[in-house]
Structure 1
Amino acid sequence: MTYFTNIDGKYLRASYLASLRIVKDGKPHTVGETLILPAAKDMRRIDTIASNIEEILISQLKMCSNLSLQVDKSTDITNMAQLLVFIRYDFHNVLNEEIALEKMCWYLYRLSQSYVWKIDRPSIDSTESCAILC
């Protein structure tokens, strides 16, 4: 009995590019199992953890009474511009502070949507709820 699997084109291309890179470096084919596969698993786990943290933050922002948002630009050691977004909010009478970090300035709009407008509260536009945006 023969089984067939339908593989999405982007996954097949990624697998091909990884195999091509291994061959070009002259490494044995097992390096894909001992080096690349564990690194890919770690990247997936980090992405999952980041998504969970973002979901927790958004759920806490939906329930908070007051929040402040501060936007700032910084430069790292490679002279790459970093966009910093500081969010301070009151959650169950405890002041929490979170930092969102992105490399491109155009990402500010998406950050503001995902962390403020996504909260979906009608009072978020008032000055009582959102204290500072600078």
Structure 2
Amino acid sequence: MDRRPGAFRLLRQAAGRTGFAEVRVEIGWNGVVQRGVVWEVDPLDDTAVQPERQPELAKAAVEGATLGLGIIAGMGLDVAACTVHLRWVGMNVVDTEATAMRAAACAATADAFDLLDRFEISRDAQGWRCEPTRQ
């Protein structure tokens, strides 16, 4: 199965707050494996987010990759048989919140599709977000 990597490191400051999250993904197409988003972070990797220790951040990474797939589908690409494999999810205790993780995972997914230039990262009162670039 052909897999393409994508990665994004959110390290920004907005509204007096610093946000950090880093996500690495691989996308692949194969009708046999699970479609959508699959958590494949090495459970022995102490440098990565783990669902048992940081459940909110792990959930946000899955949500962000899922959001990215949905936006990409809305751009006209067929992602029905696509799987996003979350390979590494990084955080730090001070600057990582769920919205930053969600935005980074969405952007990493866009990067794997070579569409990152059609997305933007911003922050508002609800937190960090990754959205299609406004025209």
TM-score in terms of structure 2 length? 0.25
Structure having greater relative contact order (Cα 8 Å, sep ≥ 6): 2
- Indicate the structure (1 or 2) with the bigger Cα radius of gyration: 1
Per residue, is there more strand in 1 or in 2? 2
Per residue, is there more helix in 1 or in 2? 1
TM-score in terms of structure 1 length? 0.25
